[in-house]
Amino acid sequence: MYAILTDDSELARAEIGDRSYYFTEFVDGRRQEPLEGTVSSVACWGDTAAVRDEPERAAVDADGTRATPDAEGHHWGTVCPTDPDYREGLLERIGRLEGDVRLTTLGFPGAGFCRCERCNRRFEGSEHDERDAWRADVLTAFVAAVATRVDGELTATLYPDPYPGSLRERAGLEPAGLAAHVDGFLVPLCDPGYGTSYWVESLARGFARELEGLEVSLSIQLSGAEIDPERLAGVTRRVEPHADEIVYGTYPDDAETVREAIERLREEKAAPA
């Protein structure tokens, strides 16, 4: 199965692949109206505008570093996942969407986050002795709440680190717990041009093994930028045995490259053995 991910409404309707993922909420804080018949892609805690306007909303580590675009290793602002007003607003917006939904920026923004007074208080009052376990419960409970509001399939985006335990430690995401509430996981493995591709196959294989036994699908996101159709098709061939769906991040300038790569792959599958 092939799909595209785009923020362009015309491209989303261009029938490239089997379906389109369409950005409705962005990590910079922008929002746009959902598009009927597409998978609405929603940035959860990633919201640079909210953090810029109200810095106290940003997740913070033990050293007092806030998760803003100015902090080393952060490319956007991240709201603390226990912020009750932001959480409720996010759930309300998701509840207004129709059809399938993909969640992005779902986890805490790093292993040391969040250490705000609210998170410290809630952790200390919880039944958990280990902070990672508490963080995983916070996010799993959020996804469970989302699942009750989505009338289509629900897909959760995972950070591209399949090493056992790493997602829990890094972002507070526990696939085994989340699997009870989602239909699938999507892992972005994006690199314009793919000068090398062995790592793409390695990570895809790792996720396939990590999710083995869970009743969820696995989608791998690739980039359609700065690459020719045969090269993109070649990268897809290496990843496809480990995934249920390939999603191509696609801008208007990449559309024909992605379309041609998909056509080549489909022709190969249709050819007699």
Question: What pLDDT is recorded for position 194?
Answer: 97
Range of the domain at 207: 2-270
Q: What are phi and psi of 211, to 5 degrees?
A: -95, 0
Residue 102 bridge partners (DSSP):
41, 155
Question: CA-to-CA distance for 30 and 49, rounded, in angstroms?
Answer: 8
pLDDT tens per residue, range 209-242? 999 999 999 999 999 999 999 999 999 999 999 9
Query: Is the pTM for the entire model greater than 0.85?
Result: yes
% of the chain residues with pLDDT over 90: 98
Question: CA-to-CA distance for 178 and 207, rounded, in angstroms?
Answer: 15
CATH of residue 113: 3.20.20.80
Is residue 271 over pLDDT 90? no
Question: What pLDDT is recorded for position 273?
Answer: 67
Angle made by CA atoms 259, 246, 81, in degrees to the nearest 5: 125
Question: What's the token pair of residue 169?
Answer: 């430690």
Q: Do residues 222 and 162 touch, judged by C-beta distance below 8 A?
A: no
Q: What is the mean pLDDT of residues 95-110?
A: 98
pLDDT tens per residue, range 10-54? 999 999 999 999 999 999 999 999 999 999 999 999 999 999 999
Number of structural domains the chain divides into? 1
Question: CA-to-CA distance for 88 and 128, rounded, in angstroms?
Answer: 24
